[in-house]
Amino acid sequence: MKKLGLLLVFILIFGLMGCAKEDTKTLRFATWDSEDTLEVQKQIAKRFEELNPGVKVQVEGYGDGYDQKIAAGFGAKNAPDVMYMWDFPTYQASLETLNSYMDSDESFKTLMNDLYPGILNYSTMDDKVLGMPVGYTSHVVYYNKSLFDKAGVAYPEEGWTWDDLREKAIALSALGDDVYGFAFSTSPDPYDFEQYYWSFGTSYLSNDGKMMDGYFNSPEAVAMMQMFSDMVKEGSALGAQDSVSNAFRGGNVAMQESGIWPLERHIESIGAENLGIIALPKAKEASSVINSSALCMAKDSKNKDLAWEFIKFYTSPEAVKMRAKIDLPVLKSVSEELNYTSDPLYKPFYDMLETAAAHTPAFLLNSQYSKISEKMLYAIEKVFVDSVNGEPVDVKAILDEAVSESAQFLE
């Protein structure tokens, strides 16, 4: 009898363990974060687990190999349920469209009213919402106040123009041969660089994504590229192959364009009291591209309802506030609570966010953008590198060549 009793106890214990195991739902969440920022993601996942007993979130930090691992997962039909995404043209066929979830979820409508207008554009293709924005950065100009003071140059003011920037850059460069008023990469990311096209009143492609001629090589584009070329040749701007941020922190550059990424290290290097931040200058308008972090659902996910709940939580004020150390909050309530909209170090990023609805980046307009961007980047690099090397530069001819070589990729 004792043996029978023990056997029944073991059966009961293992049966309960089996039931517990079956009741636990596992959700896979992939992120490109690593080290400290990955810890933030794990904290958010843990909080979601606390709010949803019986759920286990498996956080998969892919780091630098993110794109390759995501592509492999999709190819093997073993992608994570939820993931970070930016390359929507490449992966759109593998992503769940979120419109129906958003429209049928009454609790989500309040959150949508809290989301900054325009930012959803950056994860939408053909009116299909493929990802929910959970963080962002716009682009601004950082400037070193101590260099401005030393040169006797007035700080930039809101509403300034590219002519103003160039005038200040010339004066600041007079500080010495090792000081430049402005700096930019000679090999920029074409995605980020399009904001300069917008500023001068043009774009890479037509709104339908089918025309490049008259846009990428437009008179406005030529004028913009010529301005950068001339600034390098006159010595007011540094065309840098290495880190522009390092040159800024080293006191060799007075003004730098960037997103939120270098802010903390700039403060550590030159001090918050010496760091100025202002919205981008304008030619016809001041416009910034938005670098958005969006959370998406795999079309092949077997846990779609749970995945949607995770996306909702991840977009909630609680989770967005937890992510504030990684990038800027996308919700009005959180940015106001953290005083980001009034803090002079953060307000310019929100000023530039207001331009997000005005333009759709070219990479969302044409499925062949990755191939087109290779041609565009070669043209941009040629203008800049030839300028740095003192070579003659025919901007129009270089841009025309990129247009001609991209024709095969336009629909």
* pLDDT tens for the chain, residues 1 to 411: 444 454 444 444 445 455 444 578 999 999 998 888 899 999 999 999 999 999 999 999 998 889 999 999 999 999 999 999 988 888 999 999 999 999 998 888 888 899 998 899 899 988 999 999 988 999 999 999 999 999 999 999 999 999 999 999 999 999 998 999 999 999 999 999 999 999 999 999 999 999 999 999 999 999 999 999 999 999 999 998 778 999 999 999 999 999 999 999 999 999 999 999 999 999 999 999 999 889 999 999 999 999 999 999 999 999 999 988 788 999 999 999 999 999 999 999 999 998 877 899 999 999 899 999 999 999 999 999 999 999 999 999 999 999 999 999 986
Is residue 127 domain-shared with residue 214, that is, in the same domain? no
Is residue 298 domain-shared with residue 264, that is, in the same domain? no
- Taking alpha carbons only, the member of 123, 27, 26, 31 closest to residue 69 is 31
Counting the structural domains of the chain, the total is 2
What torsion, rounded to 10 degrees, do the Cα atoms 81, 86, 91, 94 define? 20
Length of the chain as a residue count: 411
Residue 178 DSSP SS3: coil
Query: Is 187 among the domain residues?
Result: yes
Is residue 324 domain-shared with residue 388, that is, in the same domain? no
Orientation of helix 369-388 relative to helix 395-406, angle to 10°: 160
Is residue 216 domain-shared with residue 95, that is, in the same domain? no
Query: Is 6 among the domain residues?
Result: no
Task: Identify the CATH number of the domain in which residue 235 sits.
Answer: 3.40.190.10
Is residue 260 domain-shared with residue 278, that is, in the same domain? yes
Q: Is the dihedral of CA 393, 396, 402, 404 positive or negative?
A: negative
Query: Is 393 among the domain residues?
Result: yes
Query: Is 17 among the domain residues?
Result: no
Is residue 203 domain-shared with residue 110, that is, in the same domain? no
Is residue 320 domain-shared with residue 253, that is, in the same domain? no
Is residue 323 domain-shared with residue 244, that is, in the same domain? no
Distance (Å, whole) CA 258 – CA 248: 11
Is residue 92 domain-shared with residue 56, that is, in the same domain? yes
Query: Is 329 among the domain residues?
Result: yes
> Which residue range(s) make up the domain with 76?
24-137+291-353
Of the residues 353, 378, 400, which one is the last residue of a structural domain? Answer: 353
Angle at 207 between CA 202 and CA 211, to 5 degrees: 80
pLDDT of residue 49: 96
Is residue 150 domain-shared with residue 269, that is, in the same domain? yes
Query: Is 271 among the domain residues?
Result: yes
Is residue 64 domain-shared with residue 209, that is, in the same domain? no
Distance (Å, whole) CA 201 – CA 324: 33
Query: Is 237 among the domain residues?
Result: yes
Q: Is the dihedral of CA 303, 32, 49, 328 positive or negative?
A: negative
pLDDT of residue 269: 94
H/E stretch holding 21: helix 2-23
**Global pTM?**
0.88
pLDDT of residue 312: 94
Is residue 121 domain-shared with residue 169, that is, in the same domain? no
Distance (Å, whole) CA 128 – CA 118: 14
Query: Is 88 among the domain residues?
Result: yes
Distance (Å, whole) CA 385 – CA 186: 6
